[in-house]
Amino acid sequence: MSVTGPVVLTPGAVFRTAALRRWGRNPAHLARRLEQRGQIQRVRRGLLYVPRITRFGAAPPSEHALLDAFLSGPWVVTGPSLWNALGLGSTAMHTHPLVYNTRRTGVFVLGERTFHLRRVAFPAELCAEWFIVDLFRNAASVGLDREDLLKNIVSALHNGRFDRDRLVRMADQFGGRQRHLLRKALQGGVA
């Protein structure tokens, strides 16, 4: 195997084995060598991590770095922690992050973290109104009654906490099967 130049590994980086191709023709062999030397760690098959050493030892890879390398496309973390922050009555918790993306669906373990991935459409620029629509679509999974949630949304709109027009656009674009319920509430009162 011929390596063209030194392999430069940035601490904290997560990457696919194929990224080592620029330093040789057999990236899997190079990955094994670097792993034996302790320069990289295997996150899962085909996904590698350059340990970031702290005074407490090797730090795990960041959630952001893991998801970027694994999904190699747009993604967004959503779920109860963000829905609760809207102040619409949700107080749920999930044991692992809910990640919308354009490539994969399922529960995946990356490193020692578990992610619930879903192929779901989401806007390029996130806003609170999109998270409201997302909460509404997932109300049953967090134990919220949709009627109560609609009342809370209408009340928040009357108090000027959210943009009604943007919420209607987000509901039309991302509301799924519940779009008609949300739209009806926004146009004249609770369904």
| pTM of the entire predicted model | 0.82
The dihedral through the CA atoms of 58, 21, 25, 48 has a sign that is positive
User: In what order do the strands lie in the sheet containing 41-44?
Assistant: 14-16, 47-49, 41-44
- The secondary structure of 96-130, three-state, reads CCEEEECCCCEEEEECCEEEEEEECCCCCCCCHHH
Mapping DSSP to helix (H, G, I), strand (E, B) and coil, where does residue 87 land? coil
- Predicted confidence at residue 184, as pLDDT, reads 78
- Retrieve residue 69's tokens: 């390398």
- The secondary structure of 142-191, three-state, reads HCCCHHHHHHHHHHHHHCCCCCHHHHHHHHHHHCHHHHHHHHHHHHHCCC
Under 8 Å CB-to-CB from 118, ≥6 apart: which residues? 98, 99, 100, 101, 105
Q: Provide Rg for the chain, Cα atoms.
A: 22
Give pLDDT < 50 ranges for the chain: 1-4, 190-191
- Predicted confidence at residue 8, as pLDDT, reads 62
Q: How far apart are CA 11 and CA 50, in angstroms?
A: 5
- Predicted confidence at residue 188, as pLDDT, reads 65
Q: How far apart are CA 85 and CA 124, in angstroms?
A: 21
